[in-house]
Amino acid sequence: MQRNGFRLLVLAALILSVCVIGLGAYTRLTEAGLGCPDWPGCYGFAGVPKTDVHQELAAARYPHAPLEVHKAWNEMLHRYVAGTLGIMILAINVLAWRRPERPRGLPACLLVTVVFQAMLGMWTVTLSLMPVVVMGHLLGGFTTASLLLVLWLRLRPLPMPRSPSRSQLRPSSPFASSTASAGALSLFALLGLAVVIGQIALGGWTAANYAAVVCTQLPLCEVDWQQSFDSSAFSLIQPVHDSYQYGVLDYQQRVTIHVTHRIGAAVTTLVLLLLAWQLWRHPALRQLALLMLGVLCGQVALGITNVVASLPLGVAVAHNLTGMALLLVLVAVNVQVFWMRRPTRHWQGSAARLH
């Protein structure tokens, strides 16, 4: 497979990873996370039991988990697509090792991530939607998509930078100030990425603990959340329960999670606005700045709609996908800033040799 074909395979895997994340959100929001009480099959079958005989066997095997066909199909469709993605990532690794010029580290990281992601998918079922596992499964999906994007960008052809003249390499030239500017921009970009990851984790924790609709007013909550703030709401290891479906935390704890997620959204918005201003100062990055602002505005609007409309299914799924899009934009920003700085370091080395 030629370079362009390999890159197309990575792009196809990236698109499929987006579908997996969307299907995962839909499965969770339709309460189908336990649509099949076993893993990787469904009630002991490779697929959803269809015939009356198979459904009777399913009821006998799992009397505590009555079969709901539509939920079982939601769960199994998610598993089928996720399994296809895993096969594609395995193929990417095989093809990467067939040619020495292809990157191998990123495909290997992807393979490790997707294997661990499969284990998280199993634990999500066997541990009955334990919140820390559900949140980890969400973050694993986002990590897979991010690594695929980095690999796809890594495979793009990069133009060779023009060699700078001696006047441009003087320490007093504007090049030196642009180096400092690029360094500051890289710090802003990393900060923006870290804040978005933290906010996504908060969103995952909110969803896993069924805290998305405990507050119905804006901008914060209709109850005195400051007086009832309970830091134990963020304990990753919760007491053992037979099932965590529909949540096991009390109302005050869920309010604490919900309000923290909203405060995190405000902090994320502020940080990304500052990052957009920094990006706008570099003409080559203005398109990314506009894209980031557009996705950010969409995400804020979807978050507000989730509150005022009590979590409509379509809006909630879109909120998950837009959060993923925001993360991918931040990943692309950091990759672009990194590649901007690479020729800078090369030219600095040339300057040292010339002087």
Tell me the two tokens of residue 303.
């978050």
Measure the CA–CA gap between 288 and 117, rounded to whole angstroms: 30
- Active site (annotated) includes residue 68: no
Tell me the two tokens of residue 176.
């030196």
Point out the catalytic residue in the list 31, 56, 68, 75: 75
Inter-residue contact 243 to 208 (CB < 8 Å): no
What 3 state SS string does the chain have? CCHHHHHHHHHHHHHHHHHHHHHHHHHHHCCCCCCCCCCCCECCECCCCCCHHHHHHHHHHCCCCCCCHHHHHHHHHHHHHHHHHHHHHHHHHHHHHHCCCCCCHHHHHHHHHHHHHHHHHHHHHHCCCCHHHHHHHHHHHHHHHHHHHHHHHHCCCCCCCCCCCCCCCCCCCHHHHHHHHHHHHHHHHHHHHHHHHHHHHHHHHHHHCCCCCCCCCCCCCCCCCCCCCCHHHHCCCCCCCCCCCCCCCCHHHHHHHHHHHHHHHHHHHHHHHHHHHHHHCCHHHHHHHHHHHHHHHHHHHHHHHHHHCCCCHHHHHHHHHHHHHHHHHHHHHHHHHHHHHHHHHHHHHHHHHHC
Instruction: Kindly list the distances between the CA atom of residue 154 and the CA atoms of 85, 110, 331, in Å, as whole numbers in the listed order.
Output: 20, 14, 12
Inter-residue contact 54 to 45 (CB < 8 Å): yes
List active site positions.
Answer: 75
